[in-house]
């Protein structure tokens, strides 16, 4: 069965346009309740978008109509919903969020009772129920709704529990950027209670400013604040708190690939690095080389956190993630968690006795160029003679000191041309040549 609504990470789009509308969310809540096949209870959390109030009410009504009890968490990070779904023994958790997108987008994503993303068969069952008319349970069997007032406190304590009890953050000066998003009332508390001297930015959500010039996708303000305040480092989350990037004391960005390396190095130092580290097809070649120097290896999954998690389970890995900062620490939690990932980085920094700037120097990033080529149709790139020849010529020019990746975007009519290597000018030139050939072959 082909999916009509679900993408790689739930359902997402522009508010007010199908399917991100109140009537659809009502039907979706009912469909989820029916697909679960039992009364149980479902958690609903959200980020700070103004439309979250509207969709929370609609989902609550649909679930209640299906006879499912609802626990309302209010604004909470996505990984918090995963954790609380487990601890409340709920049948499922629902997150109302469009992650790092602007406020006028929204969406929903789901967690199972184990705190993991839904399996394909459950998503298909929900889509099948969406084709049916809503049949309301009898009044005696309607679901009830309860607001959980201590959700934030529960999650704060969970995050702190993943940090070694023998360590403290005393003496560490940290700037935290909450992206005016779901971490605004929990992240500062976590780092403060562990002893850090904190300055917080991006922690005044008004429903319209989530991710606006702040957060992991717009770190310029954080970079400035770290340097101006002479802080040791900065931490930036995205709107729903499942991604993190960091800034060292010089104001330089430390991205997801570098954070993966730092966490892996720390785990190895404590003899807790099991299996390979899992990245994606887009992970920097420098990460692969740095992990090799650690005596570990990199396994590449398809782009997307669900594919990273699948590869981690398959290979027995405890750490995996993407350059965007979506990092999964399976030794601590079940999904990508920006706060917990940042804490794992700080463990490595403290135990090494080095600064964030010094510890990241164990990995040298290769220059990388990404060009998006707009296309009106799809062809098999590996079967086109001209494209195959162009790739072979580019690989020869890189002389085994680089990497080439061609892939179609999963959400846009684009071919992504990625080239990386030691020489930035050579990398750019080869990427432009490949992009030109692809455009000629697909668009004429």
Active site residues: 99
Q: DSSP state, 117?
A: B
- Of 216, 210, 209, 207, the residue nearest 247 (C-alpha): 216
ω into residue 316 within 30 of 0, thus cis? no
| DSSP H/E element including 415 | strand 414-421
First-to-last alpha carbon distance for the chain, in angstroms, is 34
Residue 265 and residue 351 in contact, taking contact as beta carbons nearer than 8 Å: no
Q: How many CA atoms lie within 13 A of 368 on its CB side?
A: 19
d(CA 3, CA 122): 12
422 contact partners, CB below 8 Å, separation of at least 6? 366, 367, 401, 402
Cα angle: 209, vertex 210, 214; to 5 degrees: 90
Q: How many angstroms separate the CA atoms of 320 and 277, rounded?
A: 5
Task: Name which of 81, 84, 94 is nearest 31 in CA terms.
Answer: 94
Question: Residue 350 is encoded by which pair of tokens?
Answer: 């403290």
Binning the chain into helix, strand and coil, the percentages to the nearest 5 are 40, 20, 40
The answer to whether 10 touches 96, Cβ cutoff 8 Å, is no
Three-class secondary structure of residue 279 per DSSP: strand
Element (H, E) at 59: helix 51-65
> CA 197 to CA 444: how far, in whole Å?
58
CA 280/CA 307 separation, integer angstroms: 8
Tell me how far apart the alpha carbons of residues 441 and 379 are, in angstroms, rounded to a whole number.
9
Report the alpha-carbon distance of residue 148 to residue 333 in Å, rounded: 21
Which parts of 202-295 are beta strand (E)?
233-237, 244-248, 253-254, 277-280
| SS3 category, 373 | strand
């Amino acid at each position: 069965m082909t999916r009509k609504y679900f993408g790689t990470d739930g359902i997402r789009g522009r508010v007010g346009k199908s399917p991100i509308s109140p009537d659809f969310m009502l039907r979706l809540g009912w469909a989820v309740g029916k697909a679960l096949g039992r009364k149980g209870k479902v958690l609903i959390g959200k980020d700070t978008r103004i439309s979250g109030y509207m969709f929370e009410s609609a989902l609550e009504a649909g679930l209640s109509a299906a006879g499912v009890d609802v626990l309302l968490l209010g604004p909470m990070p996505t990984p918090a919903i995963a954790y609380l779904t487990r601890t409340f023994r709920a049948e499922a958790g629902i997150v109302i969020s469009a992650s790092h997108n602007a406020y006028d987008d929204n969406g929903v994503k789901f967690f199972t009772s184990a705190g993991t993303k839904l399996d394909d068969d459950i998503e298909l069952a929900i889509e099948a129920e969406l084709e049916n008319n809503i049949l309301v349970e009898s009044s005696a069997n309607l679901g009830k709704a309860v607001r959980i007032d201590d959700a934030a406190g529960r999650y704060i304590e969970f995050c702190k529990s993943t940090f070694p009890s023998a360590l403290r953050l005393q003496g560490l000066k940290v700037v935290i950027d909450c992206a005016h998003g779901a971490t605004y009332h929990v992240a500062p508390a976590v780092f403060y209670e562990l002893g850090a001297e904190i300055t917080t930015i991006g922690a005044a959500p008004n429903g319209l400013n989530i991710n606006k010039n702040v957060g992991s996708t717009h770190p310029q303000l954080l970079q400035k604040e770290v340097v101006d305040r002479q802080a040791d480092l900065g931490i930036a989350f995205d709107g729903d708190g499942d991604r993190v990037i960091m800034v060292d004391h010089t104001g330089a960005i430390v991205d997801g690939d570098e954070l993966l390396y730092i966490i892996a190095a720390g785990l190895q130092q404590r003899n807790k690095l099991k299996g390979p580290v899992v990245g994606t097809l887009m992970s920097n070649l420098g990460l692969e080389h740095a992990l090799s120097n650690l005596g570990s290896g990199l396994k590449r999954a398809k782009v997307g956190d669900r594919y990273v998690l699948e590869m981690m389970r398959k290979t027995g890995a405890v750490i995996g993630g993407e350059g965007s900062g979506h990092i999964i620490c399976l030794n601590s939690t079940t999904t990508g968690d920006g706060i917990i990932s940042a804490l794992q980085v700080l463990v490595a920094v403290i135990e090494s006795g080095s600064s964030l700037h010094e510890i990241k120097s164990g990995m040298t990033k290769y220059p990388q160029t990404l060009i998006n080529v707009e296309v009106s149709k799809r062809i098999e790139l590996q079967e086109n003679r001209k494209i195959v020849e162009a790739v072979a010529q580019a690989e020869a020019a890189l002389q085994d000191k680089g990497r080439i990746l061609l892939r179609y975007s999963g959400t846009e009519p684009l071919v992504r041309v990625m080239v990386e290597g030691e020489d930035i000018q050579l990398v750019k030139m080869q990427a432009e040549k490949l992009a030109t050939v692809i455009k000629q072959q697909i668009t004429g």
